[in-house]
Amino acid sequence: MRILGIESSCDETAAAVVEDGRKIISNIVRTQISTHELYGGVVPEIASRAHLEAISSVTRLALEPAGGIENIDAVAVTNAPGLIGALLVGVGFAKGLAFSSKKPLVPVHHIRGHVASAYLSHSDLKPPFIALIVSGGHSHLVLVSDYTSYRILGGTRDDAAGESFDKAARVLGLGYPGGPKMDALAKSGNSDAIHFPRVHFADAPFDFSFSGVKTSIINYAHNAEQTGRELNKPDVAASFSKAICEILTEKAILAVNTVDLPQKKLVVAGGVAANSMLRKMISDAAEKNGVSLYIPDISLCGDNGAMIASQGFFEYVSGKRAESDLNAFATESIEL
Ligand code: KG4
Ligand code: ZN
């Protein structure tokens, strides 16, 4: 079964065709980075307009290797969560396409899509497992008990991990998008140079908080400026990254060791899963703890249509269909 996946929740217009949830036939991503770079972050209205301009050609390109919409069994589209104006473009387009081609339409939760990106890179991966999902707007630890059943174990109480990388990058004057730039700079720095705080909650071991570490880096940079001390940016980037990656690793491993699972399996997904320090730290910890680790290829960590097509397949198989009044939502729990 071939599913066309359409994704427009943030700053990438993406479409892909995936077979049986696992095999990528096509995967086209048109990023808006150069458009938003000018403003230092995503401007929602500009993002919506850029999606509107790109979505037809991106979808046409994705359909080409599949031989056109006639060879597609269903259209899957991200309808939540994300920037509402951006989501509405994808949902409106997918509805029109499904209607005109008489194909079923399947709504997909964006974060479920991130989890599914691991199925694309690891053909043997099956639930149940623990998923650490770390993106620009979300940081969650989730028990994935089946392809469409989720239970949130914990999440961030303030900023998401990706958001804090982006803010730290802005403090260091690295520009947007900050995560990959922090990653690159951290490689030449000393991660033990500065101690940034790690937050723990005694009553909620799987919850995160990244606002303290964000404030800490802002204060550190201001202090350096006021005292005329030159910032060692690679050291700051490396030390900041270590604080974030350590917390994520520690809690993910704790979750997989605590929750009763037939096999200790951990998935790490979302834009921040591309981070080289996190990949290394979490794979070392997984090995030490006898945990099987599944991280998508770096090319599938950021937003893409293939992950939506993959999850769309599993949603379709479970019987999920969009009604004719399908809408988009800026927020929606992964559990629903
Ligand atoms: O999943 P994603 O593409 O979009 C959302 O659903 O939010 O995640 C984007 C986030 C951004 O905050 C970006 O800075 C971060 O992922 N990111 C990274 C890296 N690549 C992307 N953060 C740290 N290191 C990276 N290599
Ligand atoms: Zn995303």
The per-residue pLDDT for range 143-165, each reduced to its tens digit, is 999 999 999 999 999 999 999 99
d(CA 258, CA 248): 15
180: Cα separation from own chain's centroid? 13
Q: What is the CA radius of gyration of the chain?
A: 20
DSSP secondary structure letter of residue 158:
S
- How much is the mean pLDDT over the chain? 97
What pLDDT does residue 287 have?
Answer: 98
* 82: nearest Cα among 13, 147, 18, 142: 13
Instruction: Identify the residue whose C-alpha is closest to ligand 1 atom 3.
Output: 302
**Ligand at shortest distance from the CA of 273:** 1
Q: Domain 125-298 falls in which CATH fold?
A: Nucleotidyltransferase; domain 5 (3.30.420)
Question: How much helix, strand and coil, in percent to the nearest 5, is found in the chain?
Answer: 45, 20, 35
Question: 270 CA to middle of ligand 1, Å?
Answer: 7
pTM equals 0.97
d(CA 179, CA 160): 12
Residues 6+ apart with CB under 8 A from 163: 136, 137, 210
Question: 213 CA to middle of ligand 1, Å?
Answer: 17
Q: Is there an atom of ligand 1 within 6 Å of 315 CB?
A: no
Question: 271 CA to middle of ligand 2, Å?
Answer: 6
pLDDT above 90 (res 177): no
Q: Environment class of residue 260 by beta-carbon count within 10 Å: exposed (0-12), middle (13-18) or buried (19+)?
A: exposed
Say whether 185 sits in a helix, a strand or coil: helix
Say whether 50 sits in a helix, a strand or coil: helix
Quick one: pLDDT band at residue 276, thresholds 50, 70, 90? very high
Q: Give the dihedral sign, CA 121/124/127/128.
A: negative
d(CA 93, CA 80): 15
Question: 303 CA to middle of ligand 2, Å?
Answer: 5
Quick one: pLDDT band at residue 67, thresholds 50, 70, 90? very high
Instruction: Identify the residue whose C-alpha is closest to ligand 1 atom 23.
Output: 179
How many Cβ atoms sit within 10 Å of the Cβ of residue 219?
A: 11
Instruction: Identify the residue whose C-alpha is closest to ligand 1 atom 18.
Output: 179
Q: Is there an atom of ligand 1 within 6 Å of 162 CB?
A: yes
What residues form DSSP beta bridges with 32? none
pLDDT above 90 (res 336): no
Quick one: pLDDT band at residue 176, thresholds 50, 70, 90? confident
What pLDDT does residue 231 have?
Answer: 95
What pLDDT does residue 1 have?
Answer: 98
Q: Is there an atom of ligand 1 within 6 Å of 113 CB?
A: no
**Nearest-atom index, ligand 1, CA of 114:** 1
Q: Is there an atom of ligand 1 within 6 Å of 129 CB?
A: no
Homologous superfamily, domain 2-115+300-317: ATPase, nucleotide binding domain (3.30.420.40)
Q: Which helix (H) or strand (E) holds 109?
A: strand 105-109
Tell me what the mean pLDDT of segment 115-123 comes to: 98
**Nearest-atom index, ligand 1, CA of 12:** 3
d(CA 67, CA 59): 12
12-19: strand order across its sheet: 23-31, 12-19, 2-7, 74-80, 105-109
d(CA 317, CA 300): 23
265-269: strand order across its sheet: 149-155, 139-146, 129-134, 265-269, 292-294
CATH 3.30.420.40 intervals, the chain: 2-115+300-317, 125-298
